Structure formats: structure tokens, C-alpha cells
Amino acid sequence: MTARIQLQGRLGLSDAEPLANRLRSLRGADIDVDASQVTHLGTLCQQVLLSAASEWHGAGHELKLVNSTDACVDQLALCGLTPESFEENRK
């Protein structure tokens, strides 16, 4: 079974640690990270998600960023990322 977490609309510097803790609480489960409400995704939160994806895939689990808003996609692109960057076979 895949767990699902809903990202809040604005994820800035002060949201990175709570996001990391929330992800840690789901360690060992496949996760869909729903970005359908994201209007701002700061760089540190992007790093938290990318690090978690790497950890999840290394443990044989899936972590996917799904339902990304245009704003989310645009902010990922500023760091050279796409929603697919969080999937196991990313380049």
C-alpha cells in the first residue's frame, strides 16, 4: 500500500525540518507526495524531498512527486529538477 502526503501551499525554510520529520515517520512505505496545492517550494524543501527520494529508492521503496502544480514545476526547474527527478530511474 502506498502512503500519501499532501504538501501545503507554501514550503519555505521553516518548513524543511517538519517535512523531513513527516517523511521519516513514513520510512519503509512507498509514498506519493501530492504537490497539487504547492504555490511555493523552496530550495531547502526540494533538497529534503530529493534526499528522501534517494533514501527511499536505496531501500527498495518508491517516493514520487505527483500532481505538481505549474508553480511547483517552475520552481523545480530553477534548480534543474522536474517532478520525475524524484523517481527511481531519474537521470
The pTM (predicted TM-score) of the whole model is: 0.91
| Per-residue pLDDT band at 1 (split at 50, 70, 90) | confident
Domains and CATH numbers, the chain: 2-86 (3.30.750.24)
| One-character DSSP codes across 8-72 | PSEE-GGGHHHHHHHHHTTTTSEEEEE-TT-SEE-HHHHHHHHHHHHHHHHTT--EEEES--HHH
User: Would you give the DSSP letter of residue 74?
Assistant: H
List, for residues 38-88, the tens digit of each pLDDT value.
999 999 999 999 999 999 999 999 999 999 999 999 999 999 999 999 987
Give backbone dihedrals phi and psi of 11, rounded to 5 degrees, phi first: -120, 105
90 or 8: which leads in pLDDT: 8
The answer to whether residues 11 and 42 touch, using CB atoms and an 8 Å cutoff, is yes
pLDDT of res. 89 = 58
